[in-house]
Structure 1
Amino acid sequence: MGNIELWGGVECTVNRVGEQYFDQLAQSGHAQRLTDLDLFAALGITKLRYPVLWESVAPEHPEQHDWNWATERLNRLRELNIDPIVGLLHHGSGPRYTNLLDDDFPQKFAQYARSVAKQFPWVTYYTPINEPLTTARFSALYGFWYPHAKDDTSFAKALLNQINGTRLAMQAIREINPNAQLVQTDDLGYSHATPALQYQADFENHRRWLSWDLLCGKVDQQHVMWRYLVENKVPEATLLEMVQNPCPPNVIGVNYYVTSERYLDERIIDYPWHTHGSNYYQRYADVEAVRVQAANPLGVQKILEQVCDRYDIPVAITEAHLCCTREEQMRWFAEVWDSASFLRKEGRNILGVTAWTLLGAYDWNSLLTQNNGHYEIGVYDLRDGKPAETSVSKFLSGLANQEERHPLLQIEGWWKRACRSAYPPLAECPESWNMAAGPLRQLNNLTVQPLLITGATGTLGRAFAKVCDVRGIPYVLLSRQDMDIADAASVEETLRKYQPWALVNTAGYVRVDDAEKEPEACYRENTLGPAVLAQVCQSLNIGFVTFSSDLVFDGNTETHYAEEAPTNPVNVYGCSKAMAEEQVLAAMPGALVIRTSAFFGPWDEHNFVYKALKAIAHQETFLAAEDSVVTPTFVPDLVNAALDLLIDEESGIWHLANQGALSWAQLAELAANLAGMEPSPWLQPVPQETFNLPAARPATSALATGKRAILPSVEDALRRFLHMCEFNFRPSDRQLNNPEDEMQFAAQA
């Protein structure tokens, strides 16, 4: 057998909630970008799951079609030698003149399918209805989507309508193109359970096959689901007609996610309320099996083996996607790809693996019930309005050419590590990926390259270590004693010792006011050090990221500073950072330089937000500048985004700060309000000059970005800060002194 193929897919759901339609193509902007198809072709994909959706082509009347969009796109795919797998209904209930419980739904759908085949007689591959079982559950059993039914009888009818619609659609399509192929998709997981709920898990594990079993004509009187369907008013004659006239898929498309396998537990007190449900007899929690410490998920390879054993039909993974950090996205796809490749070499008829979704997805965190614009990055990143390459797209491009994989793919994904457990919850990450004990570490007979992090005693360096522990990124945290960043010989010796794939520089001189009287020390650590690191990394072909500051600007503007704004620092610290930017990029054009501002985080007590909240909680006077505007930055957001950009091999100057420009006084007030405190009268806004700080500060140094590095809002970040914070801001039991005698201020640096 040859190698498996790389397929692709675009999240294209048009679903209905009440009277509102949710359109993924409109949200992603793909509806207006024909050039996306050329990007997809560059990945080396051979087939693309692509929409010609009923709701979009004939939204108002079954005889009124608009083929312009579909014609332009399908013709372009033909020119690119990509076979489209055309989808006609994707998690939808159809246009307004029908729905999944409409008695005439199958006939109306088949009429539309015939129209598509007439318009595009050359199209060979079809998925008429995506995930019929899943859509029936969400629309007619759980009530999330239109028509919002919540009973087994409605579920059975919605499922049968979709299966009959698929059968009639393929019959109509094959009358025009006899060679048309049915690629039938559905989510295929597995339900695990406690002994008390094994009966429910058994039922769900039989039910999961229904889409394919019905199409294959397997649901006869001996089938385990026959009685359930008949009791829920599916006519026996309908089921028997499917047995006598099956419409088996040419390809079984398995959609498998980290969350596809479930765990059922009657001990609902151990799980959050939103996981609680009922089967009319018993209440239980339904959670992701991967998050339960006691569960042992089967994994994609065993799931594929089950499919191959059940059906003598070619199989493909038609959705492989993970909403996570870059390395975890790659790890997930690599695991699916490697599992499918292994089975194909073992003689199993596995055709391909589909990168899903190429452009990401919107609002799946609410199961498409709310239009919040919540974006999950896919193979490409759309956050600045156009598709940007990521490490995932580069990985897929190399996959077809069998190029070397990123060093981080030697590490197993989070779903296989100890950190996967949320039930019971872990107090902290149980794993450490600090490789300081030795220069190299052997893992699965492979030499693991670490990430080097300078600044072992600093807030940012320690934050990188914490995040790397969570993300499964091997690292070595270096102190000044381990390596002198301003000494080329020391740097080269250290890099050759550890052989890192990249280096993160968080070391430097941070005392803004002291820099005015210690300029030499400041320039050595902040300018010479990063320049030396860049030179050595360039010579050894090692990735490099270093941090700059909003203080490279003078504040003489009414707008926020974008990356291309000219620098003009007003103090020694800012000058040292501005010079570092120039020298680093001159020495290493591929370096990543991140400007950030006013960061705060949950892992230290030395940031402005912590000090403000502590003072207000203890009813101590806290002075904060009312005329100095910054863009606060939440350290976990900063570190995660910086790691993603580093893994993506981005370069140049990037601004990373949470969205929202605030004065220091406004920041303290917002934090106090979100913490449920009354900031007045303890918080006292004052002019910046009140502090008589030795180093001048710009009146505003608010950062904006013209790139895709868009972080959540400051308010959102503060809420997460308060949730994560290890510190208690409540007043102690001690006797408070006169607040006027207790002055607290934080130097705004």
Structure 2
Amino acid sequence: MWTAAEQERARGADIRAVTVWALFGLVDWRSLLTKKEGAYDAGAFDTRSDIPRPTLFAKAAAALGRGDRLEHPVLDLPGWWRRPGRTHARRRFETLPRRAANARSILITGATGTLGQAFARICAHRGLPFVLTERSQLDICDEGSIASAIARVKPWAIINTAGFVRTWEADEKADECFLANVTGPELLAKACKLHGIPFVTFSSDLVFDGQLGRSYVEPDAPAPLCEYGRSKAEAEARLISIDAGALIVRTSAFFGPWDRHNFLFNTIEQLRRGEDVFASARTIVSPTYVPDLVHATLDLLLDEEKGIWHLTNQGSMSWHELAQAVADHTRSDAGKIIVPDHDEPSDTSLTSSRGVLLRPLDRAISDFVDSSEPLRRLLDEAA
């Protein structure tokens, strides 16, 4: 818009200003106000923080206003409105390439995991070029492999979704867990600092012991009880000491619509088979919907945010309540959801003192039930 205005003014048009709209974001504009959902999209500032937080849009407007040249990797490609599939009215747009030859990419580790696959899917949806790597292409625990991947891809950012995720095995496989969850992110962070590349990695609610009596916020001191939590807490400490400007996202109990590897799907699968589901009524968590998590993480990356952020859907509940909720949504037999005999109290739920960015949990669960491809197939087979 700014470039077009400059071009027309050079031709003699009397253009005095370009407006920034909407300065503080929009509510329900994504549906053109046809639905009253309370869906918020940030503008130049994100008002979900106590103090409105400047986004990439605000920084871009400020740079242009100063007369600076605007440079950012997202500008390597045509705008979203010029991409194939975005319009039926102007067929010539369909001939535009999906990826410009010189477009810079985001390097994403962890191709076999839920988060890695989700980032690839949503980056494609948002028109962000990416390279998704498996361990054979980038071993995060090998400095040489990291250096080779950076030289090959020349990424403008790295998002690390790789790591040891089998929390129930972490105590027995502590060395393997620490190698993947501590050494790997540390080596990536050092390489990113060396090359001046933004770095994103993920941590967990299990860095806390669950005994605080309220939801945890970013400044709360870690106090892990298990090896998995200790590995994540140690990774956070090392990244902060490196001073790499990394974005560290703490999240919890995530579930997504594109695979079967989550508590919600497993609950419905067991109930449909007539099996009992054992779920704690005293362990409180913050279930997190993967599409919401990925979109918010990408927003923070683009906005050049750093440090620790808590990204979970708004609200918390026990595993038992979560199982009940998804059973109710799918009209499954909730009577088979049983509280185990030994049910120790713990509350590792997360909220944020920096800005609550994700939508309420009940809406996320509804979206999961409506959108999950594996769940839909499971329910169709049962019917």
Alignment map for 1:134-173 (pairs within 5 Å): none
Q: Which residue of 1 aligns with 2:152?
A: 497
> Is 1:729 aligned to residue 383 of structure 2?
no
Q: Which residue of 1 aligns with 2:333?
A: 679
> Is 1:418 aligned to residue 71 of structure 2?
no
Q: CA 1:456–1:343 in 2, change beyond 3 Å: closer, same or farther? A: same
Aligned-residue Cα RMSD (Å) equals 2.5
Q: CA 1:688–1:352 in 2, change beyond 3 Å: closer, same or farther? A: farther
Alignment map for 1:451-600 (pairs within 5 Å): 451-600=106-255
- Given that residues 76 and 104 in structure 2 are in contact (C-alpha distance below 8 angstroms), is that contact kept between their aligned partners in structure 1? no
Q: Which residue of 2 aligns with 1:708?
A: 355
> Is 1:407 aligned to residue 62 of structure 2?
no
Q: Which residue of 1 aligns with 2:61?
A: 396
Deviation, 1:374, is: 4.4
- Given that residues 526 and 576 in structure 1 are in contact (C-alpha distance below 8 angstroms), is that contact kept between their aligned partners in structure 2? yes
Residue deviations 1:242-264, cap 9 Å, x none? Answer: xxxxxxxxxxxxxxxxxxxxxxx
| Distance in 2 between residues matched to 1:541 and 1:573, nearest whole Å | 29
Q: CA 1:372–1:457 in 2, change beyond 3 Å: closer, same or farther? A: closer
Q: CA 1:632–1:522 in 2, change beyond 3 Å: closer, same or farther? A: same
| Distance in 2 between residues matched to 1:545 and 1:349, nearest whole Å | 44
| Distance in 1 between residues matched to 2:278 and 2:284, nearest whole Å | 15
Deviation, 1:492, is: 1.8
Residue deviations 1:161-187, cap 9 Å, x none? Answer: xxxxxxxxxxxxxxxxxxxxxxxxxxx
Deviation, 1:422, is: 8.8
| Distance in 2 between residues matched to 1:422 and 1:558, nearest whole Å | 54
| Distance in 1 between residues matched to 2:6 and 2:97, nearest whole Å | 31
Q: Which residue of 1 aligns with 2:300?
A: 645
Deviation, 1:398, is: 1.4
Residue deviations 1:418-449, cap 9 Å, x none? Answer: 242599xxxxxxx997xxxxxxx753xxx211
Q: CA 1:368–1:507 in 2, change beyond 3 Å: closer, same or farther? A: closer
Helix, strand or coil: the match of 1:354?
coil
Q: CA 1:543–1:611 in 2, change beyond 3 Å: closer, same or farther? A: same
Q: CA 1:643–1:422 in 2, change beyond 3 Å: closer, same or farther? A: farther
Helix, strand or coil: the match of 1:707?
coil
Q: Which residue of 1 aligns with 2:48?
A: 383
Residue deviations 1:297-317, cap 9 Å, x none? Answer: xxxxxxxxxxxxxxxxxxxxx
- Given that residues 109 and 116 in structure 2 are in contact (C-alpha distance below 8 angstroms), is that contact kept between their aligned partners in structure 1? yes
Structure number with greater CO (CA < 8 Å, separation at least 6) is 2
| Distance in 1 between residues matched to 2:115 and 2:340, nearest whole Å | 29
Q: Which residue of 2 aligns with 1:603?
A: 258
| Distance in 2 between residues matched to 1:469 and 1:460, nearest whole Å | 14
Q: Which residue of 1 aligns with 2:93?
A: none
Helix, strand or coil: the match of 1:620?
coil
Percent identical residues: 40
| Distance in 2 between residues matched to 1:452 and 1:466, nearest whole Å | 14
- Given that residues 570 and 698 in structure 1 are in contact (C-alpha distance below 8 angstroms), is that contact kept between their aligned partners in structure 2? no
Letter in 1 for 2:69: E
Deviation, 1:413, is: 2.4
Q: CA 1:610–1:525 in 2, change beyond 3 Å: closer, same or farther? A: same
- Given that residues 627 and 687 in structure 1 are in contact (C-alpha distance below 8 angstroms), is that contact kept between their aligned partners in structure 2? no
Letter in 2 for 1:656: L
Q: CA 1:670–1:711 in 2, change beyond 3 Å: closer, same or farther? A: same
Q: CA 1:513–1:528 in 2, change beyond 3 Å: closer, same or farther? A: same
Letter in 1 for 2:373: E
Q: CA 1:375–1:732 in 2, change beyond 3 Å: closer, same or farther? A: closer
| Distance in 2 between residues matched to 1:432 and 1:630, nearest whole Å | 44
Residue deviations 1:30-62, cap 9 Å, x none? Answer: xxxxxxxxxxxxxxxxxxxxxxxxxxxxxxxxx
| Distance in 2 between residues matched to 1:393 and 1:462, nearest whole Å | 30
Deviation, 1:344, is: 2.3
- Given that residues 626 and 688 in structure 1 are in contact (C-alpha distance below 8 angstroms), is that contact kept between their aligned partners in structure 2? no
Letter in 2 for 1:358: L
Q: CA 1:687–1:595 in 2, change beyond 3 Å: closer, same or farther? A: farther
Q: Which residue of 1 aligns with 2:92?
A: none
Deviation, 1:573, is: 0.6
How many residues are matched? 374
Q: CA 1:704–1:432 in 2, change beyond 3 Å: closer, same or farther? A: farther
| Distance in 2 between residues matched to 1:422 and 1:614, nearest whole Å | 40
Q: Which runs of 5+ in 1 are unaligned?
A: 1-335, 424-430, 434-440, 690-696, 735-749
- Given that residues 419 and 470 in structure 1 are in contact (C-alpha distance below 8 angstroms), is that contact kept between their aligned partners in structure 2? no
Q: CA 1:507–1:363 in 2, change beyond 3 Å: closer, same or farther? A: closer
TM-score (norm 1): 0.48
Q: Which runs of 4+ in 1 moved over 4 A?
A: 363-374
Alignment map for 1:625-640 (pairs within 5 Å): 625-640=280-295
| Distance in 2 between residues matched to 1:454 and 1:369, nearest whole Å | 39
- Given that residues 250 and 310 in structure 2 are in contact (C-alpha distance below 8 angstroms), is that contact kept between their aligned partners in structure 1? yes
Residue deviations 1:499-548, cap 9 Å, x none? Answer: 11100000001111211111111101000110111111001000000000
Q: Which runs of 5+ in 2 are unaligned?
A: 90-95
My pick for the range that moved more, 481-490 or 517-526, is: 481-490
Q: CA 1:432–1:475 in 2, change beyond 3 Å: closer, same or farther? A: farther
Letter in 1 for 2:319: W
Deviation, 1:378, is: 1.2
